[in-house]
Amino acid sequence: MKPGEVRISQICEVSQIGSEKQRYLQTGVSHQTDNWTSARWLTIPVDADGNPAIGTVSVYPIVISGIVYIALLALAFAYFSANGRRTIGKKLLGLRVQSVDGKNPGLGTEFRREILKFSPYLLFIAADFAFSLFPVFPTEDFDALLRMSRDGYTLLDSGAAMFDIVLGIAALIWWFLPLIFWRGQTFYDRICACKVVKS
């Protein structure tokens, strides 16, 4: 190692809803100077025996937990918005959701509206799943991968990063652009025959 470098290696465990714990080996080098600190990290999935699994990584648990999180979040927002109720944010802004005929939407309509509202997150989950089908690392040789890491290799998935940026822009368009043109109605409001009005 170079002067001022510190190597750190640790086993991390990550737990997702409805799945077993996943284990990762995280190894990296931290370099500190008088003015700044930099670090290079390599995170590799390992199996129950501690052996590296550097091929394709299954993200089924992440997909399932992500869908569960979104469904629970949508249900909570729907409950606090249905039948004339308002979320804290809508109360603070003096807004409420009503159907286009002026009635208060029920829980079913509000749940559908919230699922549509959070649908961009479902696209992110689908994108992560699609990228997980391809090998993450440039070599199957664990020792070679460690040597590459020590020589300065970092995992840069520019394709996945660019796709996430595109999805992020699409999500912002999904949420905010219709408000400019339709005044109080987004795409999901139009689909659910609802609108946001001043209370």
Please answer whether residues 87 and 117 qualify as being in contact, where contact means their C-beta atoms are separated by less than 8 angstroms: no
What's the pTM? 0.59
Residue 1: predicted pLDDT: 57
Would you state the structure tokens that stand for residue 197, as one six-digit string? 């009005």
Residue 54: predicted pLDDT: 61
Q: What is the pLDDT along the chain (199 residues), one digit of tens a residue?
A: 566 667 777 777 777 665 667 777 777 777 777 776 766 677 777 777 777 766 555 566 667 777 888 899 999 999 998 998 988 888 898 888 899 898 999 999 999 999 988 888 887 777 777 766 665 565 666 677 767 666 666 555 445 566 667 777 877 777 777 666 666 678 888 889 988 888 7
Cα distance between residue 31 and residue 2, in whole Å: 8
Please answer whether residues 182 and 190 qualify as being in contact, where contact means their C-beta atoms are separated by less than 8 angstroms: yes
Task: Please tell me what DSSP assigns to residue 50.
Answer: S
Q: Tokens 């009635």 correspond to what residue?
A: 103
Residue 137: predicted pLDDT: 63
How many Å is the maximal CA-CA distance in the chain? 71
Would you state the structure tokens that stand for residue 85, as one six-digit string? 């109720």
Residue 79: predicted pLDDT: 94
The candidate with the shortest Cα–Cα distance to 120, out of 164, 82, 150, is 164
CA pseudo-torsion sign 106, 108, 112, 114: positive
Please answer whether residues 30 and 42 qualify as being in contact, where contact means their C-beta atoms are separated by less than 8 angstroms: no
Cα distance between residue 6 and residue 39, in whole Å: 9
Residue 106: predicted pLDDT: 93
